[in-house]
Structure 1
Amino acid sequence: MEEDTFEEEKRLWKLSVDGSSCVSGSGAGLVLTSPDGWTIEYALRFGFKATNNEAEWEALIVGLIITKHLEVQKIEASSDSQLVVGLLSEEYEAREHSMAKYFAHIQNLKLAFQVLRVLKVPRAENARADQLSKLATAKKL
């Protein structure tokens, strides 16, 4: 790895996202890690019904909006959603209108960042975001 590439990698913020939908509700888990290693974790409960795929998109959108407000310029987002990452890498084509709208929204959000990469990670590597998304969808007391 070249020196410049290595330095750029060190300056990237990392965002892990996961969406969840079940009978008791839908929500998202987000883990945002700065280049210095400090971490912000969010468990968000949505006030609307969402499918699992919609919850995955919503998780990524919320994560990117938060990082945008923090004025983060370089970010590497990771998700265990094959559909979301496949659509963003243009490996897949959006066949449903709602998926195309989510794709377009992310394309618009990309403009706020110098670097935005979205990577597919195995579910095991996304465990903390998954735990937070499950917490967000837990039954209300």
Structure 2
Amino acid sequence: MKINLYTDGGSRNNPGPAGVGGVAFDESGEEIFRFKKFLGEKTNNQAEYLALIEGLRIAELKGYQAVECFLDSELVVKQLSGLYKIKHPDIQPLVAEVLKLKNKFKSISFKHVLREKNKTADSLVNEAIDEGLS
């Protein structure tokens, strides 16, 4: 079964208090899982990668073999597709982790989606940061 995984990561003040969030749907559009997590101090780009990693780990644990990933970070999508180089040393190990997880799925893709199409994941990020700061 293929799932659609929407992830988002964010940081207030970049770097600053950060969080991740995500939601996954099956092929019929039913929500199958969601997550949120406070990260402490991170950059926006670190948070975007950590959100994807968290979502892929959950998908793997639940036994899904095909994942279509939707992110509102065009930078991350282009880095993962090889269109942009990964220069920042803090990002390189996160990319390596995504690539390691990528090999655990029979089918996986990374697609850019406009922020308006990623509202649930974005809301979960803000909830995670708010809860982490309170």
Alignment TM-score, normalising by the size of structure 2: 0.90
Candidates 31, 38, 44, aligned match of 2:37: 44
Higher share in strand = 2
Partner of 1:54 in structure 2?
Answer: 46
Displacement of 1:129 after TM fit? 0.6
Partner of 1:19 in structure 2?
Answer: 9
Structure 1 stretches lacking a partner, 5+ long: 1-10
Structure 2 stretches lacking a partner, 5+ long: none
Displacement of 1:25 after TM fit? 2.1
CA contact (8 A) 1:18 1:28 kept: yes
* Identity across the alignment (%): 31
Aligned residue identity for 2:6: S
CA contact (8 A) 1:30 1:43 kept: yes
Displacement of 1:36 after TM fit? 4.0
Q: 1:2-41 CA distances to partner (integer Å, 9 max, x unpaired)?
A: xxxxxxxxx4201000001115721111101122433122
Partner of 2:72 in structure 1?
Answer: 80
Aligned residues: 130
Alignment TM-score, normalising by the size of structure 1: 0.85
Partner of 1:90 in structure 2?
Answer: 82
Rg: which structure is higher?
Answer: 1
CA distance in 1, matches of 2:11, 2:129: 7
Q: 1:57-89 CA distances to partner (integer Å, 9 max, x unpaired)?
A: 000000000000001000101001111101001
Greater displacement, 16-25 / 109-118: 16-25
Give the 4+ runs in structure 1 shifted more than 6 A. none
Partner of 1:7 in structure 2?
Answer: none
Greater displacement, 29-38 / 119-128: 29-38
Q: 1:87-139 CA distances to partner (integer Å, 9 max, x unpaired)?
A: 00111001112222211111111111000101011111111111111111116
CA distance in 1, matches of 2:35, 2:101: 20
CA distance in 1, matches of 2:38, 2:88: 24
CA-based RMSD of the aligned residues comes to: 1.5
